[in-house]
Amino acid sequence: MAGGHKQGEAGKRLVVLKGQAACAGVVWLVGAGPGDPDLLTVKALRLLRGADVVVHDRLTPRAILDLARPGARMIDVGKRKSRHTLPQEGINQLLVALGREGLNVVRLKGGDPFMFGRGGEELEALRAGGIEAHVVPGVTAALAAAADIGAPLTHRGLAQAVTFVTGHAASGGEPNLDWVALAKANQTVAIYMGLSSAPVIAARLIAAGRAASTPVAVVENASLPDERRLTTTLGALPEAVRALDGPALLIVGEVAALAQVDRPPEIAGLDDQSFAGVSS
């Protein structure tokens, strides 16, 4: 390759291509975790503190956005169910355009960018646009939910596998899932975006052979102050989740019987001073 990298001013990389030099931006697809700022990775925090621009979704908590460099440009591309503020294609083009401006861009994505987050599409668009891009993993909602209720997703003797699925159904239909595979015993099914299709999910799993008495744990707004938790069974799931309307994770399987829904919230181990020692 007739080019190379060296460090330019303000941390930007000077890309040298065939004798010409130009400042190239870098786009970081960064997992923001489930909401609690304490669950950000140190790398995510460092990048936020150095970013020229932060592109984020509607649900990104203020407490996380406030960790960005003062003066950083904040762009909300927040999506609402069935009503995208900016369509995915528009977000892809925006990221490419910001990269071409030579900016350090942090694209903050809830949980992990590659877990039902369309991070793959954004990465493809950036690659196709010739923009340097990197991915920083984040704590995905299923892991945060399981930790909060103390129900391990795998557990000796109860679950030898865990499957992450989406309950989101394209164009209002049914989720396109392999119900027979998911109904097999000794595994946990962690379901994202499963609230509105809970009746179909429960009916299909039971029809495929999973017992109606199978334990289910549900965690809404995991890691956040307004977190809600409940336990139920597969048969009673549709009724049990009727009152929930926030982002929620369904954990289906024997491990859900270990959930402690009345567990006290975790005592915060970090305060603002703890972050002060982490420099960008």
Ligand X SMILES: C[S@@+](CC[C@H](N)C(=O)[O-])C[C@H]1O[C@@H](n2cnc3c(N)ncnc32)[C@H](O)[C@@H]1O
Q: Does 137 bind ligand X (CB under 6 A)?
A: no
Which two tokens mark 90? 């528009």
- 11 or 87: CB nearest ligand X: 87
> Would you count residue 28 as binding ligand X (CB under 6 A)?
no
> What's the angle, vertex CA 230, arms to CA 242 and CA 172, rounded to 5?
35
- Residues 188-207 within binding reach of ligand X (CB under 6 A): 192-193
Q: Which stretch binds ligand X (CB under 6 A): 44-52, 176-184, 197-205, 246-254?
A: 246-254
Residue 55 within binding range of ligand X, rule CB under 6 A = no
The span from the CA of 154 to the CA of 160, in Å, is: 6
What span, in angstroms and rounded, lies between the C-alpha atoms of 172 and 144? 28
Token pair listed for 273: 């001073």
Catalytic-role residue among 12, 38, 43, 79: 79
Pairing of strands 228-233, 215-220: antiparallel
Distances (CA, A) of 156 to 77, 164, 165: 42, 19, 22
Minimum CB distance to ligand X, residue 193 (Å): 4
Taking the C-alpha atoms of residue 68 and residue 66, their distance in angstroms, rounded to an integer, is 5
**According to CB under 6 A, which one of 15, 29, 34, 259 is a site residue for ligand X?**
34
Residue 53: what are its φ and ψ, rounded to 5°? Answer: -135, 140
Stretch that binds ligand X, among 37-45, 170-178, 228-236, 241-249 (CB under 6 A): 241-249
| Residue closer to ligand X, measured from CB, 106 or 193 | 193
66 an active-site residue? no
Looking at the Cβ atoms of 34 and 253, the one nearer to ligand X is 34
Beta carbon nearer to ligand X, 11 or 246:
246
Q: Of the residues 52, 57, 81, 272, which is catalytic?
A: 57
- The region of 123-131, 233-241, 243-251, 270-278 touching ligand X under the rule CB under 6 A is 243-251
Which 8-state DSSP code applies to residue 277? T
Among 25, 37, 61, 111, binds ligand X (CB under 6 A): 111
Q: Pick from 24, 105, 249, 251: which binds ligand X (CB under 6 A)?
A: 249
- Residue 222 binds ligand X (CB under 6 A): yes
SS3 call for 8? coil
- Contact between 115 and ligand X by CB under 6 A: the answer reads yes
Q: Where are any strands of DSSP class E within the chain? A: 3-7, 13-17, 20-24, 26-31, 53-56, 73-76, 79-80, 83-84, 104-109, 132-136, 161-166, 187-192, 215-220, 228-233, 248-252
Q: CA 99, 104, 106: angle at the middle one, nearest 5?
A: 95
Q: Is 95 helix (H, G, I), strand (E, B) or coil?
A: helix
79 is annotated as an active-site residue: yes
Rank residues 111 and 253 by Cβ distance to ligand X and give the closer one.
Answer: 111
Closer Cβ to ligand X, 179 or 192, answer by number: 192
Catalytic residue numbers, as ranges: 57, 79
**What residues make contact with ligand X under the rule CB under 6 A?**
34-35, 110-112, 115-117, 140-141, 145, 192-193, 219-224, 247-249
